[in-house]
A and B are shown apart, each in its own frame.
Chain A
Amino acid sequence: MSAATATPPVGAASVPAVRRRPGIATVYRWELTKLRYQKRTYLGLGASVLVPIIFAVAIHFHHDRHRGDFAFSAYLSRSGLAMPLVILLFGAVWMFPLITALVAGDIFASEDHNGTLKTVLTRSLERHELFVGKALVASTYGIVAILLDGTVAVIAGSIQSGFNSLQSLSGTIVSAPKALELVYVSLLVYLIPIAAIVCIGLLLSALTRNSAAAVVGTLMISLLIQLIGILPGLQGAQPYLLSTQFNAWQGLLRTPIDWSPIIRAAWVCALYGLPSLIAAFLVFLRRDVAGG
């Protein structure tokens, strides 16, 4: 180690001047960069890509078995545009909550695991900037996973079953271009409960400081909420469960469009997400960085 080449310091007696500081955009950019280096990133995105492909292959070999068990299942072999919608239905159980939790549950806890929180918090970043940057990246990951899955499903479904018109839940026929538009709007509506899952993941990540606990915990909360919905005597709670909001997009596939489940999803998810987000923010802002 050569001391002679060390950077000359500022004069010892001088008070360091306040200089241009980084902000949320810097954190966002670098958190995205960090995701590129982590295996879990590709695990989630890989699942988003592979599941529609596996679906398409399964339909190709066993299309006779998919007949009207659930919404749009009867159309899987008639229109490729049914596939993203069917995957949205199935994915709500655990796949999309898990993919979302892979990053949201890890994003603060991994800093504790690596002991790097003290490293970044002794630079020129305020804690709230780091929090917001990380929260935005966790949300971005959820958005990318859903849109990627939907796009691959549209392509794979169209290759398998054709880019054909779709029958809506009201029985009307929707042209293929219009159906494509509705598929993408459905994906966007699907992001509402995904945002709530992100917030829960962030809270558990900040609270537990343990990546595995936060990821599994987020998934468990999602599954427990679904369980409440099927318990006898608790059907009245169904419209207010987070799991129910994963079906809000179905309102778009009715004629005329039924906005009520989408509006309800917005405020119900806010009730789940906002307190979690605020709690995560306060925990992160106030916590002592005694380990990491």
Chain B
Amino acid sequence: MTPVPIEVRGLVKCYGDLIAVDHVDLTVEAGDVYGYLGPNGAGKTTSLRMMLGLIRPTEGSVRLFGRDPQQTVEALQGVAGFVEAPTFYPYMTGRRNLELLAAYDGADAGKRIDRSLEAVELSRRAGDRVGGYSHGMRQRLGIAAALLRDPSLLLLDEPATGLDPAGMRDMRLLIRRLADEGMTVLLSSHLLGEVEELCNRVAIVRSGRIVYEGTIAALARGAGTMYRLATSDDAVARRVCDAQAGVGEVRTEHGKLTFSSNEASVGALSRALIEAGVLIHEMAPMTVTLEDLFFSLTEGDDPQPEPSSREPAEVVG
């Protein structure tokens, strides 16, 4: 059986009394573009550092293609990426930095320098010292450095952070293209649009714990559908809704009723409203965005999500 690109089990990292990463389990399958999503300080970067062998877990294990990065650097064969902003020697040129990294990669990484620079459109500035590069150029050089390793698995920590809109778009296009070519990508981000656009699976992390792992679609389904209702008599309609089986969370927002339900119960509710003499002006499902789901999972006192917002088969944490 082919080992999966990333398999993390029971990962914990404590700094004194602070639990930065709290029993994280996740599996990234070959071909996934996996979003590791969470607010700042949720433990995303710490998790990535443990995955790359940069820091030692307090508990738990990481396997990259079945190999342990804590034991040997061989585990990083075919793996590339960066945590936080990619960093280079500022007193050397971009090309010289890549030559150094290619030498540290071994094999034929040196032959990929020109192609990597072209891929991120840095060929013309490759002769300039990195100390004079903008943040965006360093991010692109970071991708170029990753491509030198001819990776099967790319781990990127907030790759679009600090880029201008055009830079963010280009970065997403590049990641999309690499994924389309078969590369597995783990993308840590707090940019919901980026994750929604690029990723087929996500893990949402809060205070070091994964509160959801699975597809975005399953997350939306698990969250339950909210409906908006406008009628000829909202007071009566509300009483009907409250009494109707399968209808919950009935509220009045901006002059309209909202409630959570499912398709079968909504049909029954329509009939009940008509039987009660209430005319329905509007009854439509409200779009649930990843942003809504993200905030529902990462805000509030309870680090665990509401049971109704989770897809049992998909939830890990």
* B2: A residues at CB distance < 8 A: 13-15
* A12: B residues at CB distance < 8 A: 5, 30-31, 152, 182-184
CB pair B73–A14 under 8 Å, yes or no, is no
> Of B77, B84, B89, which is in contact with the most chain A CB atoms at under 10 Å from its CB?
B89
Q: For the complex, is B290 an interface residue (Cβ under 8 Å from A)?
A: no
CB pair B118–A125 under 8 Å, yes or no, is no
CB pair A3–B54 under 8 Å, yes or no, is no
Q: For the complex, is B94 an interface residue (Cβ under 8 Å from A)?
A: no
How far is B104's CA from A26's CA once the two chains are assembled, in angstroms?
Answer: 7
Q: For the complex, is B74 an interface residue (Cβ under 8 Å from A)?
A: yes
Partner of A1, one of B5, B54, B83, B121: B121
Interface flags for B280-308 (1: CB within 8 Å of A; 0: not) read: 00000000000000000000000000000
CB pair A6–B77 under 8 Å, yes or no, is no
Q: How far is the CB of A3 from chain B (nearest CB, A)?
A: 3
* A15: B residues at CB distance < 8 A: 2-3, 65-66, 78
CB pair B103–A6 under 8 Å, yes or no, is no
CB pair A1–B87 under 8 Å, yes or no, is no
* B107: A residues at CB distance < 8 A: 19-20
CB pair A17–B77 under 8 Å, yes or no, is yes
Partner of B72, one of A29, A38, A121, A126: A126
CB closest chain-A residue, reference B148: A7
CB pair B77–A124 under 8 Å, yes or no, is yes
Q: How far is the CB of A203 from chain B (nearest CB, A)?
A: 21
How far is B149's CA from A16's CA once the two chains are assembled, in angstroms?
Answer: 11
Q: How far is the CB of A23 from chain B (nearest CB, A)?
A: 9
How far is B106's CA from A21's CA once the two chains are assembled, in angstroms?
Answer: 5
| With A7-B115, A288-B54, A288-B56: A1-B86 Cβ-Cβ less than 8 Å | no
Q: For the complex, is A115 an interface residue (Cβ under 8 Å from B)?
A: yes
CB pair B119–A22 under 8 Å, yes or no, is no
CB pair B82–A119 under 8 Å, yes or no, is yes
Q: For the complex, is B151 an interface residue (Cβ under 8 Å from A)?
A: yes
What DSSP secondary structure best describes chain A's contact surface?
loop
Q: How large is the interface on A (under 10, 10 to 19, 20 to 34, 35 or more residues)?
A: 35 or more
Partner of B104, one of A4, A9, A14, A125: A125
CB pair B119–A7 under 8 Å, yes or no, is yes
In the complex, how many residues of chain B place their beta carbon closer than 8 angstroms to a beta carbon of chain A?
68
CB pair A34–B55 under 8 Å, yes or no, is no
Partner of A33, one of B78, B100, B182: B100
How far is B74's CA from A19's CA once the two chains are assembled, in angstroms?
Answer: 9
CB pair A2–B121 under 8 Å, yes or no, is yes
CB closest chain-B residue, reference A27: B104
User: Which positions 89-135 of chain B face chain A at CB distance < 8 Å?
Assistant: 89-92, 100-101, 103-107, 112, 115-116, 118-121
How far is B173's CA from A3's CA once the two chains are assembled, in angstroms?
Answer: 7
* A29: B residues at CB distance < 8 A: 103
* B257: A residues at CB distance < 8 A: none
How far is B2's CA from A17's CA once the two chains are assembled, in angstroms?
Answer: 13
Interface flags for B173-217 (1: CB within 8 Å of A; 0: not) read: 110111001111000000000000000000000000000000000
User: Which positions 8-62 of chain B face chain A at CB distance < 8 Å?
Assistant: 30-31, 46, 49, 52-56
User: Which positions 127-145 of chain B face chain A at CB distance < 8 Å?
Assistant: 140, 143, 145
CB closest chain-A residue, reference B143: A1
* B73: A residues at CB distance < 8 A: 21, 121, 123-126
Q: For the complex, is A8 an interface residue (Cβ under 8 Å from B)?
A: yes
Partner of B103, one of A30, A114, A121, A286: A30
* B53: A residues at CB distance < 8 A: 121-122
* A26: B residues at CB distance < 8 A: 103-104, 106
> Of A13, A29, A124, which is in contact with the most chain B CB atoms at under 10 Å from its CB?
A124
Q: For the complex, is A116 an interface residue (Cβ under 8 Å from B)?
A: yes
23 CB-based A-B contacts, threshold 8 Å? A1-B120, A1-B143, A1-B167, A3-B177, A5-B119, A7-B112, A9-B151, A10-B152, A13-B31, A15-B3, A16-B65, A22-B105, A29-B103, A37-B91, A116-B88, A118-B84, A119-B101, A122-B52, A123-B149, A124-B73, A124-B77, A124-B104, A124-B105
The 9 closest A-B pairs by CB, nearest first: A16-B78, A3-B177, A115-B87, A288-B55, A12-B182, A123-B104, A1-B170, A289-B54, A19-B107
**Given known contacts A1-B174, A34-B92, A124-B105, what 10 new A-B pairs fall within 8 Å (CB)?**
A1-B120, A3-B173, A3-B176, A5-B118, A10-B78, A19-B107, A34-B100, A115-B87, A118-B82, A122-B79
Binding site for A on B (CB under 8 A): 2-3, 5, 30-31, 46, 49, 52-56, 65-66, 72-74, 76-92, 100-101, 103-107, 112, 115-116, 118-121, 140, 143, 145, 147, 149-152, 167, 170-171, 173-174, 176-178, 181-184
